[in-house]
Structure 1
Amino acid sequence: MMNNEKIKNSNELEFAVFCIENLVAKLGVDAIDVYKALTKQSDILYDYIIPEYEVLHTQSKEYIVEDILVVMKERGVDDMIFYHESFLEVAKPDLMHSRPNLDFGRGFYVTPLYEQAEKWLDFILNCRTGKDSTDYDLVVGGIANDKVFNTIELFF
């Protein structure tokens, strides 16, 4: 059912933003991706969240987020795809073996943007095979080329 009920007042608008922000926090994805999931991949924003505002806004944040996630799953929006700069699927990342001092701490970094992951993978592969075509003076790091000391020695 797609009734495309529009947002009628500032309370509904604030509630829609509240829902999107809290889904972003729960899922760890970009707000634009959540908005697209609720409007383009489904019509959950205008077919469920806004029409059910009067009931939903009286519930706890946790309840609202979990309820929307259930609706997303029921409507086939549960499979948000994330990309890692790898040519293999990594179904269960092992964070115990990640390096402790990465930019944002231990982790397995992903993006919902396929193009970004693809560009990063190309950059890494080019650096590791000596085909780096960037304008950077120096590219170092375990991720960039796995040859940090070889690169540094070239400049000393």
Structure 2
Amino acid sequence: MSLLRAATRQLALRQLARKYASTSTVFAPASLVHTPSAQAADEYGPEPIEPADARLSITERAAEHLRSIAQSKKGAALRIAVESGGCHGYQYKMELAKSLEADDYHFAHPSIQPADVFRITDNPQAKGNGCGCGVSWEAKY
């Protein structure tokens, strides 16, 4: 994994942990199960967030979709990352993953697990409302 990809993944997870994925009705929050190892944090650079600050909430509609996918794709998990790209510098990447990587934050909820299509809204670490392409965003520094 490239240093940039690892750094942007950490940035995305830090942002997600600080802000809910949606401002609409929130479903019960997921609990943090795993944080990046000390070795991964040293290797990839960005400072991991404290476990007490790591949180992720989803809407009821997203939870329903996650439950549906979980039934057909056993053992899969939704990985959310940030990559360089788009016209503003960064874009989210969401994929189904089968294994945990050293620099992942792992959240679990008793009734849901994976997903295939979702979007992130209200990112407090992004400038403005994104860009014309509707995919990328610029980070606040």
TM-score range relative to shorter protein: under 0.3
Higher helix share: 1
Is the radius of gyration larger for structure 1 or structure 2? 1
Q: Which has the higher contact order (CA 8 A, sep 6+)?
A: 2
Higher strand share: 2
